Structure 1
Amino acid sequence: MAATALPAARLPAPGMPSPARQTPRRAALRDVPQLHATLLKSGAMTTSPDSFHSLLEAAALPAPATSSAHLSYAIRLFRLGPHPPRSARSYNILIRSFLRAGHPEDALHLFVEMLDDTAVSPDQHTVANTVKSCSRMCDLSVGRGVQAYAFKRGFMVDQFVLNSLIHMYASCGDVVAAHVLFHTVQVKGVIAWNAMIAGYVKNGDWKEVVEMFKGMLEVRAPFDEVTLLSVATACGRLGDANLGQWIAEYAEEKGMLRSRNLATALVDMYAKCGELDKARRLFDRMHSRDVVAWSAMISGYTQSDRCREALAIFNEMQGTEVNPNDVTMVSVLSACAVLGALETGKWVHSYIRRKDLPLTVILGTALVDFYAKCGCIKDAVKAFESMPVRNTWTWTALIKGMASNGRSREALELFSSMLEANIEPTDVTFIGVLLACSHGCLVEEGRRHFTSMTQDYGICPRIEHYGCMVDLLGRAGLIDEAYQFIRNMPIEPNAVVWRALLSACTVHKNVEIGEEALKQIVPLDPCHSGNYILLSNTYASVGQWKNAAMVRKEMKEKGVEKIPGCSLIELEGTIFEFFAEDSEHPQLTEIYEKVHEMIENIKMVGYIPNTADARLDVDEYEKQVSVSHHSEKLAIAFGLMKSRPGATIRLSKNLRVCIDCHSATKLISKVYNREIIVRDRNRFHHFKDGLCSCNDYW
């Protein structure tokens, strides 16, 4: 079925069902007693069963929904109704009413009562609605009992009974039984198909949803908006943009996009398939958007690493009457975590408290992760401790946060507390543990945890775990051991593993293994500029300037462009972006003047520019100017200009902090009496009083 060609979206729908029959408007509750009194006076309550049933229906099934007052009145009518005894129709009305009001247990009890009533017998409508009660309660054992009764009474040929049973088995997880029943249906209508599809949706079998729909197209079975909504959701989960696009085009042509639910499902589908521009166009056309639609867009932008757009659309949402929910907040916090947008994230946390949103495990974990990724470990710990329930991911988020913020020992202590709490670690937890060992130069602990992962927890190391071990050994200067570790890996090392070794060679000036590492990386990742720059810097660190220049030349000849350094800084809820040698910022002149002042001031307390990372084809003065214009220095200068005296400056950088910027920022923190928190590609650096939390080990 996977190869089934989709019909052109412009063709009419095969066997589309006719619109549902309109139900007459029923009486309001205030009218029911008057109708009741009229029927009593006329004697119709006892002489006309249809009149009684109409009254009972008016009380039990009002439009648009059953209220508790209506239901109470209907129950009294049913219990005190006229003689002769109650009929199957009156039971059916009340059973439907219980279902509609969300009381499937009461509907089931009424069915049992009906079985004990010798004057009346359940019919096929009773059975179908009772099976729906079992679906709502997810009670397979009772459902099977009702099916046995239906078989005994000969109701298994009834379309409504079969459809209800298919839905019951599918939604309760027994899709095999549902399939058996489904194939007994001679003429399968849209309800039968939707019942099977709904069961697969509930069980998360997204591939089966798509296959069922393709089967419908093959046999030209009828489908409706409910079908398309389920299949669009499945397309999003599977990343099937082709089928999703067909559904969107079909819905557009048939005028079905007026349905907010279907339009929202398609927006979510496009977003999950990475088609953000298509999602946004459809989103902008929607006349009415609920919280699900807004959340789908925000989540889509966040997951596609377009976090600034995620926050922009969240700000747009604030101007509407739609209130965000916990799902929205998880996506917003994730975007804030990526961007380091502390103030926006704090506002989200405040909103959660003000609106008394339940601190679910997912939302609480997002808060912990957000604060940790903004360098606010104390706040991350507070969020962690405030959670009523925590799972493995919550503990893992804090362990990784501790590791990246230079609190390696605390991260390992937290891991021990996690084990004492009988929380089973995952492979991701061990990545956090090994990162903590790597950032803290805890070699023996790292070796022990790497071994324990397999021996004690049966977790097979992934490439990320091997990369952590290479990084740990390399940072500690054990270059030969790291190299042999890679050679002995049971799985093929990737470019990231070799790059970790190459980076260590640069720090520890090991040219020979650095050359070997680059030779292994180039076939795996030929266009990554960092590979060539690392080896060039390794040559430069030992004075081999000619070799360093040759590597840069080779990089240029291959058309490999250096990734520009980029730093983000948030001030008063707005995120500003700076690039190395920036020439586009509107306040460029003032910023460069501030940089010059900054450099002159730190020179007075011992700063000497380190030009090892500068261009090799310029003189020493130009090299010094070049390193002074790195993106983080521009961002720090802007922060000094725009923030109040003494305020913490926070920024994030897309690359590893270079040696010169690290030395300069330590002195800037001392001269200007500021705490400066920098998140680079690998970890956090908390600069204060001329020192860094990494202890110059990064």
Structure 2
Amino acid sequence: MTMAVAVPISPPKITPTKPIIITHFPENPKPLILEKCKTVKDLNQIHAHLIKTRIISDPSVAENFLESAAILIRHQPMDYAQSVFEKLNDPDSSAYNVMIRGFTLKNLHHEAAVMFKRMTENSVPPDGFTFSCVLKACSRLRALREGKQIHAQIVKLGSGSCGFVENSLINMYANCGEIGVARKVFDEMSNRDVFSWNALFAGYTKSGHWNEAVDLFHYMLEVDAKFDEVTLVSVLTACGRVGAFELGEWVSEYIEANGLKGNLTLVTALVDMYAKCGRVDKARCLFDQMSRRDVVAWSTMISGYNQASRCKEALSLFHDMQKANVEPNEVTMVSVLSSCAELGALATGKWVHFYIKKKKLSFTVTLGTALLVFYAKCGSAENLIEVFENMPRKNVLSWSVLIQGLASNGQGNKALKYFDLMLENHIKPNDITFIGVLCACSHAGLVDRGRALFASMSRDFNIEPRIEHYGCMVDILGRAGLLEDAYRFIQNMPITPNAVIWRTLLASCKVYKNVIIGEESLKQITNCEPLHSGDYLLLAGIYSSVGRLEDAIRVKSEMKKKGIKKTPGCSSIEVNGVVHEFFSEDTLNPESDKIYAETEKMMKKIKMAGYVPNISDARLEAEEYDKETSVFHHSEKLAIAFGLIKTSVGTPIRISKNLRICTDCHNATKLISKVYNREIVVRDRIRFHHFKDGSCSCNDYW
């Protein structure tokens, strides 16, 4: 897909304001101060007159002037207001309130809290306005201890019945993670207005208490409380997170009936709800009907496609966003990179990376980690490391993605070196980190290191191993051929092994041709869940590898009798920004004739280099004489042939496969990489395979 670069919009021209000219200073200067002061020059001029006429000594005039300096001229720093305040003799609570409010409006929350402390130290009595502003500062600072102290003062002074103070308390407790206390404040309120309800909704949504938000709205309807559009945005967000589609539909009907579709934020929340509830097409229909769409609306729809695994549509919509000259933000970029990662669209993702640099988007931890995931899933270890090294800030997830990415790309030793560096930098690993570390040990064949790290999880890091970690240990032992050890390890697990654990052992049995443990593994899988096609094919592969062809045929026949069909293999390749998909023996591509001709030519070449078709990987329904042709036309071979046609000689070919690559395609791709002198990267359902010079990074174990 070709991406159109958005044309930057020129900023609007700002006409400078003319300074006011004072010919006669009025007896009551309040209107002049509050209405005419637009700039610091205006303040200076009026300030000079106030000092000259000594009117500044009037507390009400001084307060009005202070309000202009601290609040009305919003884009100016607080220095001027601070200097005026310091010259006041015995400032009263109104003057302190102006300063505290000014600090909070300019996001100087620490300074607001310090001013409140100074106010109490000077025995100036606070009022409801004071408490409301300083609680907002505590909320932004997440200063729970100070917020509780202020709450005690409110109760002591009897200001707790003031509605806007109670609303500020709800906000403060919710933002500090004490949502239960926030609800208690709410429940004890004698009178609740819509702001009270919205404060609690905001608390629930910010803290991820989605079910509670849904229940709260049901309660709101029961008591016939008034709600507004802000309420509905919170409710729709919660409905999307918990899949409460019926309530979301009710809200949609309410919006339609009350003519609220002109509210961009509300309709965007509705699009988000539909997408997250699995109604992506309905979300798109609503999105298309919007009279105007800002970056949030575009990002919401792109994210909806991405979360529904409709990644090609996500990238197509991003292309439309570029044509509409809407500048993407961090949220957009994260969703687009995620879609590129799922599709293996390296070229498109690299374009996005370039765009991020060109537009100088803030390189946050979230965006940087999304790039790491993208390069890891596209099999580009060099870019993965480069992005990580250039990230200004990294968290434990960033380190974990790097380690997992290197491990899955066959660089287990390098992954473990970064784990050691992580510990040296005093970054405490979590359970996700250890999945990556244990995978690295598995791919590098480091059994003893893997055992030691598994033991260290609970001993040194207080991390209780999950089923995924036990699965990694089974893979480590199985990959090393220690099948008996792996079987005993499973039997001694403190938690019940699931089908994935036994399936991992079954895959090891196929590699090492162990029929007895393979049969037992399959038996255990059936105790956990119904068998799927992959389980039958693994056991059939084990029988075939030891010459028990009748048993292999019996297993495949049993699979056929039960109507269990193998999931169609699908391989994709990106060429010139467009992702092309191939299914085995399909003819959907307009250049099918060329592709099949190139495939036949490719197979003849590798046959001359020693390739022998493995017809046991042919489709079940294929006739005996047609089995060789069947394996020739597997989806990954068609994708590789397309890559040979469409890409320059010597450049890498990158393929993504939805299933585990079969033995025949694995053997064939090794020879193709040698005969054509091409590096071929295949991402299958299990891992990455980097084919080069006739060998694979997985060492023929996958």
TM over 0.5: same fold? yes
Change (3 A) 1:252 1:666: same
Pairing of 1:251-262 with structure 2 (within 5 A): 251-262=255-266
SS in 1 for 2:615: coil
Q: Is the 2:337–2:349 contact (alpha carbons within 8 Å) kept by the matching residues of 1?
A: yes
Q: Which of these residues, 664, 669, 673, is aligned with residue 665 of structure 1?
A: 669
- Counterpart in 2 of 1:690? 694
Change (3 A) 1:354 1:560: same
- Counterpart in 2 of 1:642? 646
- Counterpart in 2 of 1:196? 200
- Counterpart in 2 of 1:3? none
- Counterpart in 2 of 1:545? 549
Pairing of 1:84-163 with structure 2 (within 5 A): 84-86=58-60, 90=64, 95=98, 128=132, 132=136, 135=139, 156-163=160-167
Correspondence 1:481 to 2:508: no
- Provide the C-alpha distance between the structure 1 equivalents of 2:44 and 2:135, rounded to a whole number of angstroms: 23
Change (3 A) 1:214 1:77: farther
Pairing of 1:232-251 with structure 2 (within 5 A): 232-251=236-255
Q: CA deviation at 1:110?
A: 8.1
Q: Which of these residues, 267, 272, 287, is aligned with residue 271 of structure 2?
A: 267
SS in 1 for 2:690: strand
Correspondence 1:55 to 2:32: yes
Unmatched 5+ stretches in structure 1? 1-27, 46-51
Change (3 A) 1:643 1:73: farther
Correspondence 1:320 to 2:295: no
Correspondence 1:586 to 2:590: yes
Change (3 A) 1:484 1:255: same
Q: Is the 2:20–2:36 contact (alpha carbons within 8 Å) kept by the matching residues of 1?
A: no
Q: CA deviation at 1:478?
A: 2.4
Paired residues, what number? 655
Correspondence 1:33 to 2:34: no
Change (3 A) 1:622 1:219: same
- Provide the C-alpha distance between the structure 1 equivalents of 2:224 and 2:677, rounded to a whole number of angstroms: 74
Q: Which of these residues, 219, 225, 233, is aligned with residue 229 of structure 2?
A: 225
Q: Which of these residues, 403, 407, 416, is aligned with residue 403 of structure 1?
A: 407
Correspondence 1:576 to 2:575: no
Q: Which of these residues, 333, 336, 342, is aligned with residue 337 of structure 2?
A: 333
Change (3 A) 1:126 1:33: farther
Q: Is the 1:666–1:687 contact (alpha carbons within 8 Å) kept by the matching residues of 2?
A: yes
- Shifted more, 521-530 versus 555-564: the winner is 521-530
Change (3 A) 1:648 1:71: farther
Change (3 A) 1:147 1:420: closer
- Counterpart in 2 of 1:20? none
Q: Is the 1:399–1:411 contact (alpha carbons within 8 Å) kept by the matching residues of 2?
A: yes
- Provide the C-alpha distance between the structure 1 equivalents of 2:502 and 2:150, rounded to a whole number of angstroms: 63
List per-residue Cα deviations over 1:39-97 (Å, max 9, x = no partner).
x3xx442xxxxxx443333247x8xxxx7778878888988756753179847785366
Pairing of 1:407-418 with structure 2 (within 5 A): 407-418=411-422
Kindly report the root-mean-square deviation, in angstroms, between the aligned alpha carbons of the 2 structures: 3.3
- Shifted more, 543-552 versus 574-583: the winner is 543-552
Unmatched 5+ stretches in structure 2? 1-14, 72-97
- Provide the C-alpha distance between the structure 1 equivalents of 2:466 and 2:382, rounded to a whole number of angstroms: 31
Q: Which of these residues, 303, 306, 329, is aligned with residue 302 of structure 1?
A: 306
- Provide the C-alpha distance between the structure 1 equivalents of 2:603 and 2:587, rounded to a whole number of angstroms: 19
SS in 2 for 1:86: helix
Q: Is the 2:533–2:567 contact (alpha carbons within 8 Å) kept by the matching residues of 1?
A: yes
Q: Is the 2:609–2:671 contact (alpha carbons within 8 Å) kept by the matching residues of 1?
A: yes
- Provide the C-alpha distance between the structure 1 equivalents of 2:41 and 2:563, rounded to a whole number of angstroms: 76
TM-score under structure 2 length normalisation: 0.84
TM-score under structure 1 length normalisation: 0.85
- Counterpart in 1 of 2:294? 290
- Shifted more, 146-155 versus 666-675: the winner is 146-155
Q: CA deviation at 1:184?
A: 4.6
Q: CA deviation at 1:243?
A: 2.6
- Provide the C-alpha distance between the structure 2 equivalents of 1:116 and 1:479, rounded to a whole number of angstroms: 73
- Provide the C-alpha distance between the structure 1 equivalents of 2:157 and 2:464, rounded to a whole number of angstroms: 56
Q: CA deviation at 1:601?
A: 1.1
- Counterpart in 2 of 1:565? 569
Amino acid at match of 1:58: E
Q: CA deviation at 1:100?
A: 5.0
Q: Is the 1:298–1:331 contact (alpha carbons within 8 Å) kept by the matching residues of 2?
A: yes
Q: Is the 1:56–1:78 contact (alpha carbons within 8 Å) kept by the matching residues of 2?
A: no
- Shifted more, 92-101 versus 427-436: the winner is 92-101
- Provide the C-alpha distance between the structure 2 equivalents of 1:543 and 1:423, rounded to a whole number of angstroms: 51
Q: Is the 2:605–2:675 contact (alpha carbons within 8 Å) kept by the matching residues of 1?
A: yes
Correspondence 1:370 to 2:374: yes
Q: Which of these residues, 434, 439, 444, is aligned with residue 430 of structure 1?
A: 434
SS in 2 for 1:257: coil
Q: CA deviation at 1:572?
A: 0.6
List per-residue Cα deviations over 1:226-283 (Å, max 9, x = no partner).
1111222233333333333322222222122311111222222333333322322222
- Shifted more, 70-79 versus 221-230: the winner is 70-79
Change (3 A) 1:125 1:462: closer
- Provide the C-alpha distance between the structure 2 equivalents of 1:75 and 1:304, rounded to a whole number of angstroms: 61
Amino acid at match of 1:85: P
- Counterpart in 1 of 2:445? 441
Q: Is the 1:32–1:55 contact (alpha carbons within 8 Å) kept by the matching residues of 2?
A: no
- Provide the C-alpha distance between the structure 2 equivalents of 1:72 and 1:565, rounded to a whole number of angstroms: 75
Q: CA deviation at 1:670?
A: 1.7
- Counterpart in 2 of 1:345? 349
Amino acid at match of 2:525: I
Q: CA deviation at 1:410?
A: 1.5
- Counterpart in 1 of 2:78? none
- Shifted more, 462-471 versus 380-389: the winner is 462-471
- Counterpart in 1 of 2:7? none
Determine what percentage of the aligned residue pairs are the same residue. 53
- Provide the C-alpha distance between the structure 2 equivalents of 1:358 and 1:612, rounded to a whole number of angstroms: 53
Change (3 A) 1:92 1:477: same
